[in-house]
Each structure stands twice: as structure tokens, then as C-alpha cells.
Amino acid sequence: MNLIKEFEGKVTLITGGSSGIGRATALAFAKKGSKVVIGSRREKESQETVGMIQEMGSEAIFVKTDITQATEVENLVNQTINTYNRLDYAFNNAGREGILGPSIEQSEENWNQVINTNLKGVWLSMKYQIPQMLKNGGGAIVNNASVAGLVGVPNGSIYCASKHGVIGLTKAVALEQATAGIRINSVCPAVIQTDMVDRAWNLLDDREAREQAVAAHPIGRFGQPEEVANAVVWLCSDAASFITGHSLTIDGGYTVK
């Protein structure tokens, strides 16, 4: 088997593919030969991802999508099928951290925004992705959870609730599709070095807090987007053919302390 092009002729849909983990994963699938569909609200950045893929000699399109809206998610999947006539893999990555703070100080608006994006968005994505994968005889889906789906994080109660929900949703739907040829797993990254993380630390302007955050990862650093991307690609590959309903922790040892 040609490992470089093991996904040639396949189609991968990635939500939140405009930057960070989503962009790295889109590029990783393209390197393996897959055609890629990017669903995101951020048009400029997403088109940049598409351009990067095309420069590699692969195919990609962008469909502007708000994953909290069923009609837009359905359109994203329909555009995928209209363009490439199939859907094999999906990485449901789009998410938001929301406003952090004590639970008793949180607003209903913040709850709705975070839950609708991180949890409802994953549910809607699978709702429309799975029927198309069944037409191909199967496929693989990876949902982006977080270490916050495995442990509690002070002042992150809503985010934790949403990511714990993603893991539970992944397990339940994996069982539903286990005999249908669709494997469904999740990844649980700790802090990954992205533009969003850089912006957050620049706003805090707290070197000591950053050093403490790095120290919380026994491996001694934050993760890189490509390290998550490689795990997602592996979970979708034949090398992971006996894995479903699993939550793969990618955290530099954060949760084993």
C-alpha cells in the first residue's frame, strides 16, 4: 500500500478548518491524497487553507457554515456530495471556549453559545454525515473533544460540560453504527499551540501563568496542531480499523498526573 496516498479517491469533511488544528488536519488528509471540504464561518482563513491544499496538488472546496444551524450543516454535506459525489471521513472540529468564569456568574447566553457550537454542532454534523457514509458502505468520523471532556477545569464549567457531552455522544453513536461500517472516535487534546492560544496569553500578559500552564504538561511543552492532525488521520485509517467509541488523549501527560 502506498502510505503517502492511502486516502486517494476519498473525501474528507472538516469543520473549523480555517486555522489551528482544523487547518493542520486538512493539510494532513490532503497529503495522503484525500479531497477536502472545509466548513467554517471564517471565509478568508478557510480559503487560505483551500489554497494551501491546492498548492500541494490536491483538491479542496470551502462552504461557509454555521454548525449550530441544521440547514447550514445539511447544505455543507449536500455541497460535499454535489462536488465530489461521496463522503468517507469527517473531523468535527469546530468549537469555541466561550467566556470563562465561575459557574454561578455565567449567563444563559454563554451557555447556549458554547453548548450549541461544541455539542449541538457535533450532533448535527454526524446526523447529516452518517447517511452519506452509509451509501459508500462505511467511513470514519473523529470528533474533537478535549482534556476538559475528561477532567474538570475551574472556571470552565460550560466548556467542560460541552466536551464531556461530545465524548458521551461519540460513544453512543459509535455503538449505533458499529455494525454499519462507520467507526466514530474522539480526540482529547490538552493545550495546543495555536493562534488562539497565542492571543489568549498575549491578552493575559502573564509570563508566570504561561509557565505554570506549560508545567502542567509533564512532557514540558504545549502540543502542536500537527500532532493532533496525525492522530485524527490515524484514527480514520485502516491502521485503526478495530477502534471505535474511543477517546484518544493527546495531552503530553496532562491527565495522568
What residues are labeled active site? Answer: 159
Residue 182 CB neighbours (<10 A)? 23
| Residue 184: all three cell numbers together | 466514530
| Residue 150: all three cell numbers together | 475528561
How far is the C-alpha of 46 from the C-alpha of 15, rounded, in Å?
10
Residue type at 150?
L
Nearest partner of 129 among 115, 139, 144, 119, judged by Cα: 139
Nearest partner of 90 among 26, 145, 43, judged by Cα: 26
DSSP E strands in the chain: the ranges are 11-15, 35-40, 60-64, 89-92, 139-144, 182-189, 247-250
Spatial contact of 22 and 15, defined as CB atoms under 8 Å apart: yes
How far is the C-alpha of 139 from the C-alpha of 156, rounded, in Å?
33
How far is the C-alpha of 124 from the C-alpha of 198, rounded, in Å?
30
How far is the C-alpha of 69 from the C-alpha of 178, rounded, in Å?
27
Task: Calculate Rg over the CA atoms of the chain.
Answer: 18
How far is the C-alpha of 36 from the C-alpha of 57, rounded, in Å?
12
